[in-house]
Amino acid sequence: MWMETKTEEKEASGTRSSLRRCVLSGLLLCTGDMEHLDKYMQEKLFVLQLVVWGLRGVTRVILANNPLSGALILAALYWASPWQALLGTLGVLASTLTAVLMGQDSAEVSGGLHGFNGMLVSLLMGGFSSAGDWYWWLLLPACLGSATCVFLSSGLSPVFERWDLPVGVFPFNIIIVLYLLCTGPDNPYYPHHPATPPGLLEPNGTELIAVEVMLGIPLGVGQIFACGALGPSLLILGAVLLYSPLLAAHALLGSAVGTLVGLSMAVHHDLLYSGLAGFNGALGCMTVGGLYFTFSWRTHLFAIASAFLSAYADVALGNLLGTVGLPACSWAATLTATLMLLLTGSLAAYRIPIGRVMAPEHNLCSRSQWEAGDTADRESTDV
C-alpha cells in the first residue's frame, strides 16, 4: 500500500528540490534494495523466485537486502570453505521453504526475512563441529535447526511487534545455543569444540602483533558469516559496499571499535587476530548508523556508542557463557541493537518504522517523502 502511495507521491510532487533528492534514489536502483527485481520476478518460476529470496536472506545476515550482494557473499563463503558454504546454502533454503509451508507472510518470505536465521544456524553448526568437514550426518541437524528458526521468528514477532522491533537474529542465537547445549563436546554423534571465555589469560611473554590486530578489523566483518579468511572477508565487505557504502563504512568502524574494546579488556590475542572481537561491534554499529535510523552526525555518534556497548557486552557474555563452554554468538549485538531501537529521547526522533527500513542512502531521501505521505494520508482521512 505504501509502495503505491510512494509512486503516486513521486508523480505528484514534481518540484525541483524533490527531483534533485531523488536522483540519488535513481542511482540506487542498481544497488540498494533492488525492489524493481521483485516486480520482475513475480511471473517467474518458483525455483527462480526461491533463489532470489534465498540470496536476499543471505544478505539479511549482514543487515543488507540485495540479491547481487547475496551472490557475492555466497561466492566468498564457497571460497573460504565449500563445506560450510554448502551447509549455509542448505540452511537458507530449508528455512525459507519451511516458512512457505507454514504459511508465513509472503512479503516477509520474499524479502528473505525467513532465510537468514536458518543460514546462520547451519553455518555455525558446521563451524563448531569437531567431526571435520564433509561429515554428512550434520545435514540432518542443519536442516532441522534451520526449520526451527521459522518457528522462533514467527513466534517472537507478535511480542516484538508491540514495540515495533525486528526479531533480528534472536532465533539464530537461541537455536545455536540450544543445539550446542543439546550435543555437548562429547556427544557420540555430533561432537563440537567448546568455546573458551575471552577473559582467559595469555601465557606469559606473549606479545601482541600490531599488524595482525589491524588485519582483524576487516576479518571482523567476515566473522559475521563465521568466515575467518582475509580474501573472502574483503569480498563480503565489497558486497556490503554494493548494497550501501554507508553501511560498509559503519561495519568497518564498528569492527575497529570492537578491536579497541578487546584491547582495553585484554582479551585473548586469538580473538583479536581472528576478528571475533570485532564482529559484534560491527553489527551494533551498522544497526544504528543509517539502517534503522536516518543518518546524521547524531545517529553517527550513537552508532559508535552502540558499537562500544555491543563489544563490551560481548566480552561480558563471552565470559559468562564460556564457563559452560558456550560461545556468545551475536547475543551482545542483538540485545544492544534492540535496546537502541527502544531508546527514547533525541535518538528516537531519527527512528525509521520497521516497515519502511531500506538501504541507508534510500532512508535518507525517502524519509521526507513518507513523512509528507503520512501527512497527506492523514488529511485525506480527516476529509
Closest distance between a second copy and the C-beta of residue 97, in Å?
14
User: Looking at this protein, which amino acid is placed at residue 305?
Assistant: A
Closest distance between a second copy and the C-beta of residue 320, in Å?
5
Which residues in this chain contact a second copy in the complex, by CB under 8 A? 102-105, 148, 151-152, 154-159, 162-163, 177-179, 181-184, 186-189, 197, 199, 201, 264-266, 305, 309, 312-313, 315-317, 319-320, 323-324, 338-340, 342-347
Q: Which is nearer to a second copy, 39 or 162 (CB)?
A: 162
Q: Tell me if residue 351 falls in helix, strand or coil.
A: strand
Closest distance between a second copy and the C-beta of residue 290, in Å?
19
User: Looking at this protein, which amino acid is placed at residue 134?
Assistant: W
Of 279, 235, 250, 281, nearest to 69 by C-alpha is: 235
Contact 191, 226 (CB under 8 A): no
Q: Which is nearer to a second copy, 104 or 369 (CB)?
A: 104
Q: Which is nearer to a second copy, 77 or 288 (CB)?
A: 288
Taking the alpha carbons of 352, 357, 359, 362 in that order, is the dihedral positive or negative?
Answer: negative
Closest distance between a second copy and the C-beta of residue 25, in Å?
30
Closest distance between a second copy and the C-beta of residue 294, in Å?
16
Q: Which is nearer to a second copy, 179 or 273 (CB)?
A: 179
Q: Which is nearer to a second copy, 182 or 209 (CB)?
A: 182
Taking the alpha carbons of 82, 276, 92, 35 in that order, is the dihedral positive or negative?
Answer: negative
- 223 vs 325: CA distance, rounded Å: 19
Q: Which is nearer to a second copy, 66 or 154 (CB)?
A: 154
Contact 308, 379 (CB under 8 A): no
Contacts of residue 4, Cβ cutoff 8 Å, sequence gap at least 6: none
Closest distance between a second copy and the C-beta of residue 260, in Å?
13
Q: Which is nearer to a second copy, 69 or 146 (CB)?
A: 146
Q: Which is nearer to a second copy, 13 or 338 (CB)?
A: 338
Burial string for 148-169 (b: 16+ CB within 10 Å, else e) reads: bbbebbbebbeebeeeebbbbb
- 310 vs 284: CA distance, rounded Å: 6
* CA dihedral of 20, 25, 29, 31, whole degrees rounded to 10: 120
Closest distance between a second copy and the C-beta of residue 335, in Å?
10
- 302 vs 280: CA distance, rounded Å: 15
- 93 vs 39: CA distance, rounded Å: 21
Closest distance between a second copy and the C-beta of residue 189, in Å?
7
HEC states along 91-102? HHHHHHHHHHHC
